[in-house]
Amino acid sequence: MNKILKIGAAIFAIAVCGIIIETGIVNSNYAKKVTDSVDKYEKKIAEIEKSLENDKKKDDNEDQENVLIANEYQIKDTTKISDAYKNGNDEGLDDNEKETLKLASDILKDIIKDDMSDFDKEKEIYKWIINNVPHGSGTAEEVATPLGVMKGKKAVCVGYATTFRLLANMVGIECKVMHDTGLGHSWDLCKLEDDWYITDCYMDAEGAPYASFNMTDRQAREGHDWDSRLFPKAEGTKYSYAIMNAKNVDDALKISKKIAKENNKEDNIFYLSYVVKQNDKKNTYKTNYILTGIQSRMGYESAEISSFKFGDSTYFIFAKKKPYDEGMDGNQTDTTFDAEKYDKILDKNFGKVESYDDTDSYDGAVG
């Protein structure tokens, strides 16, 4: 009899016993025996329920990292390789694993120093990946494995995630590969000291550097979706890049001044923090209005403003987008295009564009 049937039988027994006691069919001595039996069945039910719960946890946590992404790219376990590096012994590795170990060891030799903290090591690994590996297509072995990525210098999300995990594990940093609920994207989850942080090298390799580096759950949820039961919570703040580097702003109007000033610099990304107290509707509306106005004027093609809440503060991330490369597929900017000419025609036929007074168009975390 399986566990579900046992629970059903126990519940039925309790119900029958209850009816017997309530209707007074038996004497008090027998009733006591029945009551003892009920207690025994209740304890048994509790044990079975706990066992079922543990089984579910086991099923949920069973190798959630090494799954198939996009029905094409298998996330493969690289623990043998990272262990071989730490133990200084490559016995037991096949030829591909040995080549992977050699390439990864050479990279770490160039970028990692003995006196570095885990955070500094993680940052150097991240920098190497986003600066040396652009997005690319190819076979799964070429773009979705650490060996293919380190040799060919191109990757899909699985290639970024598994390469980052391998290098982090090799230097002693606990790192896992996460995936979305639809199994269409993957990224990393790193543990520094006692806290977890989320990093997506794929997003930053051709986006704004550090925009997706060491994110909290709240920050990552702005662009990622996952089953929170399967992975540790990323709630660390000490090494959260956005929180570490945020410049405090004490007035909503200063947000626009700061962004205008920083936009003229060469940096691709900067962070602001601003306290918007809960239920402060007036300040919330003003802040959203200003941010929507900035985004509307700059356009999503050149920059993007995102935000997330932490405590009483809202953190704003201003990320400049990289221009399209020459010959790159996609919608490229045509510098000879006379937008004003076409805007006049569109305005004449359809009316002018409405003012951006709908603050709901800014989908941030304010309020």
Instruction: Give a three-class secondary structure readout of the chain.
Output: CCHHHHHHHHHHHHHHHHHHHHHCCCCHHHHHHHHHHHHHHHHHHHHHHHHHHHHHHHHHCCCCCCCEECCCEECCCCHHHHHHHHHCCCCCCCHHHHHHHHHHHHHHHHHCCCCCCHHHHHHHHHHHHHHHCCECCCCHHHHCCHHHHHHHCCECHHHHHHHHHHHHHHCCCEEEEEECCCCCCEEEEEEECCEEEEECHHHHHCCCCCCCCCECHHHHCCCCCCCCCCCCCCCCCCCCHHHHHCEEECCHHHHHHHHHHHHCCCCCEEEEEEECCCCCHHHHHHHHHHHHHHHHHHCCCCEEEEEEEECCEEEEEEEECCCCCCCCCCCCCCCCCCHHHHHHHHHHHHCCCCCCCCHHHCCCCCC
Return the pLDDT at 57: 47
Question: Of 24-28, 207-211, 224-228, 246-250, where does mean pLDDT reach its minimum?
Answer: 24-28
In this predicted model, what pLDDT tens digit does every residue of 54-108 receive, in sequence order?
A: 444 444 445 678 899 999 999 999 999 999 999 999 999 999 999 999 999 999 9
What's the rounded mean pLDDT across residues 31-45? 60
Least confident stretch, 56-70, 147-161, 236-250: 56-70
Is the pLDDT assigned to residue 320 strictly greater than 80?
no
343 pLDDT higher than 90: no
- What pLDDT, on a 0 to 100 scale, did the predictor assign at position 205? 92
- What digits encode the pLDDT tens for the residues 7-30? 555 555 555 555 444 445 445 555
**The pLDDT value given to residue 250:** 77
Query: Which range is least confidently modeled, 205-219, 259-273, 284-298?
Result: 259-273
Give the lowest-confidence range in 7-21, 233-247, 325-339: 325-339
Distance CA 199, CA 188 (A): 5
> Which range scores top for mean pLDDT: 60-69, 163-172, 258-267, 305-314?
163-172
- Across the range 146-174, mean pLDDT stands at 98
Average pLDDT on 186-191 reads 97
Residue 358's pLDDT band (cuts 50, 70, 90):
very low
Cα–Cα distances in angstroms (integers) from residue 312 to residues 210, 245, 363, in the given order: 23, 17, 18
Is the pLDDT at 216 greater than 50? The verdict is yes
How many CA atoms, within 13 angstroms, populate the side-chain half-sphere of residue 76?
A: 19
Contact 288, 359 (CB under 8 A): yes
Which residues is 246 bridged to in the sheet?
A: none
Candidates 68, 93, 317, 291; CA nearest to 210 is: 317
Can you tell me the mean pLDDT for 335-352?
A: 68
Report the range of poorest mean pLDDT among 57-61, 244-248, 264-268. Answer: 57-61
- Separation of alpha carbons 44 and 52, rounded Å: 12
* Residue type present at position 183: L
pTM beyond 0.85: the answer is no
Higher-confidence residue of 313 and 225: namely 225
- Model confidence at 347: pLDDT above 70: yes
- Average predicted confidence (pLDDT) for the chain: 79
- pLDDT for the residue numbered 112: 97
CB 333 within 8 A of CB 324: yes
Give the separation between CA 321 and CA 121, rounded to whole angstroms: 26
Comparing C-alpha atoms, which of 122, 229, 141, 225 is closest to residue 179? Answer: 225
Higher pLDDT, 221 or 277: 221
Predicted local confidence at residue 40, as pLDDT: 65
Over 80: is that where the pLDDT of 243 sits? Answer: yes
Sorted by sequence, the CB contacts under 8 Å of residue 7 that are 6+ apart come out as 45, 48, 49
